[in-house]
Structure 1
Amino acid sequence: MYLSFYGLKENPFNVTSDPSFFFMSRRHKEAFSHLIYGIKEKKGFLEITGEIGTGKTTLCRVLLNQLDKKIKTAFILNPNLSELQLLQAIAEDFGLHIDNKNNKLSLLKRLNDFLIEQLEVDNNVILILDEAQNISLELLEKIRMLSNLETEKEKLFQIILVGQPQLREKLRSPELEQLKQRIGIRYHIYPLDEEEIEKYIYHRLNVAGFNGSIVFSDDALKEIYKYSRGIPRLINLVCDKALLLGYVLEAKLISLDMIKKSIREIEGITE
C-alpha cells in the first residue's frame, strides 16, 4: 500500500525468511562461521539456537544459497513427524526416488546407499532440521542413530539441529546423553545490539529500493530497540506499521510518537 509513496520496489519489512533481505549482524556472522567450520570439518552434529524471530531459519537459507555444489543438502522445516515420515521427508529432500511401499528398513538402506555414493565422489552431505525443539526425545534418539551411518574414518553426513532455547534444555535430558556428547558445534544467536538497529533498518530499506526519502528519528530508533529488544521479527513488525502510519499521515519522517502508536496497535492497546 505504501510502496509508491516511499519510492520502494518491495515491502522492506516482511516477516518471511527471505535471504535477500538478511542482515548479517555480528552474532549472525559468528553463527555462520561456526556452521561453515562444522560442515567443512565434518563435526557430525551441530546445534544452533536462538529466541523466536532472531533469524535462525533465514540464516539457514543464506547458508544453503552459499554452499558449493559439492555439498548436498536436505532442509526439513517441520520435523515433528513420525520416524517413517521423517525418513521419507529426508529422502525426498535429497532428491531420492521413493514410493509408498518403502518401509523404514528400505528407506535407511536407500539413504545409506546415497551417502556412500556421495562419499565416493567426494561430496559432503548436510541435513538441517529446523524447529528441532519440537522433536520428541524418542525421535531425537532415532536421529542420533541415523548419524551412525559412517565409514571407519568419517561421518557420512552432518546433522544441524536448529531451534529455540528449549532445544538446549531438551538436549540436556539424560535420555539424550549420547546425542549431547556427539554435538561438535554449538552456537546461540542473541538479538541485535542497540547500535545495530539503525543499520538493520536501513539495510532492509536499501534492499527494497530505498531512495533516501525515509528518515527514522533517533528517539524513534531507541523506542524500536526498547520494544523489540533487538529481535528482528519484532523490528519488522514495528517498522511496517510505522511506514503504513507515515503513509496515512503523508509523513516521511518516522517519529517517536509514530513508533509508540504502531507498538500500541501491535499490542492491541486502544487509545
Structure 2
Amino acid sequence: MDKNVENKEKKIPAYLRYWGLKKNPFALAPDPDMMYMSRQHQECLLRLKFTVVSGKGGALLISENAGDGKTTLLKKFMETIKEDVGTEVKIAFLDHPTLSVNEMLAEIARQFGVEGIDVTNKISILNSMKQKLKELKDNGYKNVVIIDEGQMLANNPEMLQELRILMNLVHEGEFLLSFILSGQKPLEPAIRNMPEFWQRLPVRFFLRNLDYSDTKRLIQHRIKMAGGDASKIFSETAYKGIYNFSEGTPRVILSIADLALVIGHSMYSKKIDFAEISQAAGDMNKGGESYHYFKYLDDETVDKLEEEKIKCPFCNTFIDKDLVYCPNCNSLVNKDENQKMYKCDSCGMLNLEGQMFCSFCGNLLLKMCPQCGFHNPVGRKSCEGCGYIFGDNGGTKNMLKQFKNSIITNFSKYTDVSEVKHMFSNEEPLMLVKPKLTFKGFSPNFKYIDGGTKQIKNFHCSFILTTGGISFLGKKDSFYIPFHQIEKIETTVEKKPRFIVRIRNSEKRILFTLPFRDSQKSQLIIILNKYLSGLKEVL
C-alpha cells in the first residue's frame, strides 16, 4: 500500500472506524461532493445557472436561516456551471463583503485578472475592470460575480448601490457579467427598499429548512458518501429526534448526527437510537456527561503514537507487535497457549484477549450474550441489550426478572408502554407515566441541577422506566440516565417530597415528581434501589 494512503487511513478518527465509515460524513465545511441535493436545492441551482446562461443580469438567493446550505450550493454552482454554459466561465467569489467600496471593487477586479490595481483610485479600478471584462467576453468567457454572506451589507446602502452600478456594465447591448447576491433574511428587506436594485435581480430563490423526509435522506446520503450503510447506524427514532431538535436546519442536522456517532462509539452502541440523540441534544443545548469527549481524545492520541514493530517469521514483513496474524501472508505469528483468545464473528480468526478490533479483518470483536443473544464488544462487563452481567453465573437474569415482576405487580396502571416501545432498540420499556395536571401542578416534572442550586434543565415530561435506565421525554427536550450511572434514589425532605437521583461520581442530581401517593413513591424507591444494589454487587 502507498505510504501516503496508509497514513491517510490512520488519521480517520476511531469513532468513524467504529461505524464502518471511511471519512467524516457530517463535516461542516462546505463540500459540494457531499451535498445532498433536495428538490428545493436542485430548483435553486437550476435558477442560478439560468441567470448566467440567459444573460438575465442578476439573481438573489435568500436563506430562511443560517445553515440552510446556501454557501455549499454556491460552491456546487461554481463546480458545475461550465458544463452547462458550454464555454469558459470566469468567477469572482467574495464571502467577506465587509470591505470598503474601493477594496470590494479592487478584489473583484483582481479575481478577474486585473493587475497593478491602485486601491485609492476608484475610476481607474472600474475602467480596468470593464476593459478586462470586455477582453474576457470577446474570448468567449461568461463572467460571474458572486457575493456571499450578503446580510452583512443590509445596513450598508452605499455598498449595495455600488454593486447595483457594477451590474450596469454593458457592452454591445449585453451585460458584461452576471451577478449573484446571496445572504440570510435581513438582506431581503434591504434590497426591497431599493427598487432599482430589486428590479435588476429578476431571478430569485428563497431556501427553507428541510422537511422530515429530506432530513432523513440528507443523513442517509452523507453516510453513503462516506462509505457506510445508514440503515445499520441510525434507527427511525434517531431520525425523528434529529429532525425535531434541528427543525430541518442542515448545519444543525450535521452537528447533532456527528455528535451522536461520537456518543454511540463511547457507549459501544449497536445503533444510534433515542439515548444517543437525547444525550447529543442535551450536550448541544447546555451540557451533559463528558465521557464520550474523553474517549474521543484518548482514541485520537493513541492513533498518533508510533507503534512498535516485530518481524513476521514467515515473510519477514515488519508488523505491529500485538497482531495475531500477519496482514501480508496471513500466518499466525503470535499465540501464547496460556492466553485467552477471542474468535472474530466476521472472519473467524483468533485474537488476543484485550483487543477491541480484529487484527485480521479490522472489525469490532463481539461476544454473544447467553441471555438475549445480543452481540457485545469483548471486554464489556454487562450486555447492552438486556443488562446481563457477564460472569455472574446467571445472577443478573434472576435479578432482572425480579425487577420486572415488581414493577408489573405494583404499578400495573402504568405498564401499558406500547406507544413508546419503538423508541428503544437495546432495552425494554417497563413503565410509562404521562404528564397530567394535578392539584400541585403538572406532573411528571423534571429538573437537572448542578452541584449547587443552579438548574441545568427543567421541563414537564413523560416518565419512562426501562430495564436499562430512566428516560424523561418532554415536548422539546429530553434526558436519559442509565442505571449504571445512578448511585442512589431517594426523596427530598420537604412539604411536597420529590424523587432525587444521585449520580455516581458527580455533584449533579436529578429531581422529578410523579403523580403517586406517598406509599407508591416509597414502593418505587425500594424496588429501584434494590435493583441498583444488585447491579453494584455483580459489578
Q: CA offset at residue 152 of structure 1?
A: 4.3
Paired letter, 1:114? K
* Residue matched to 1:63: 77
Partner residue in 2 for 1:150: 170
Q: Match for residue 187 of structure 1?
A: 205
* Residues 91, 98 of structure 1: 8 Å contact kept: no
Gaps of 5+ in 1: none
Distance in 1, Cα, partners of 2:229 & 2:235: 17
Aligned amino acid, residue 156 of structure 1: L
Q: Supply the AA of the counterpart residue of 1:183.
A: L
| Counterpart position of 2:67 | 53
Identity %: 33
1:44 aligns with 2:54: no
Residue 139 of structure 1 is matched in structure 2 by 159
Q: TM-score, normalised by structure 2?
A: 0.48
215, 222, 225: which one pairs with 1:204? 222
| Unmatched tracts of structure 2, length 5 or more | 1-12, 289-447, 449-539
Change (3 A) 1:73 1:186: same
Match of 1:22 in 2: 35
* Residue 251 (structure 1) aligned with residue 264 (structure 2): no
**Structure ranking higher on relative contact order (CA contacts 8 Å, 6+ apart):** 1
- The amino acid that maps onto 1:164 is Q
Q: Which amino acid in the other structure matches residue 157 of structure 1? A: L
Task: Say if 1:99 and 1:157 are closer, same or farther in 2 by CA, change over 3 A.
Answer: closer
How much is the aligned-residue C-alpha RMSD, in angstroms?
Answer: 1.6
- For residues 194-231 of structure 1, the C-alpha deviation after alignment (integer angstroms, 9 at most, x for no partner) is 11122110111111121568421111111111111111
What is the letter of the counterpart of residue 28 of structure 2? V
What secondary structure does 2:199 align onto? Answer: helix
Q: Structure 1-normalised TM-score?
A: 0.94
What pairs with 1:30-179 in structure 2 (closer than 5 Å)? 30-50=43-63, 51-68=65-82, 69-100=87-118, 103-135=121-153, 136-173=156-193, 176-179=194-197
Q: C-alpha distance in 2, partners of 1:101/1:196?
A: 46
Q: For 1:75 and 1:47, how far apart are their aligned partners in 2? A: 15
Q: Report the Cα distance in structure 2 between the residues aligned to 1:201 and 1:192, rounded to whole angstroms.
A: 12
Match of 1:239 in 2: 257
**Cα deviation, residue 102, structure 1:** 6.0
Deviates more, 1:43-52 or 1:118-127: 118-127
Question: 1:181, CA displacement in angstroms?
Answer: 1.4
CA contact (8 A) 1:6 1:252 kept: no
Deviation at 1:151, TM superposition (A): 2.1
How far did 1:252 drift?
3.5
SS at match of 2:170: coil
Measured in 1, the distance between the counterparts of 2:142 and 2:39 equals 27
Q: Which residue pairs with 1:228 in the alignment?
A: 246
User: Larger strand proportion, structure 1 or 2?
Assistant: 2
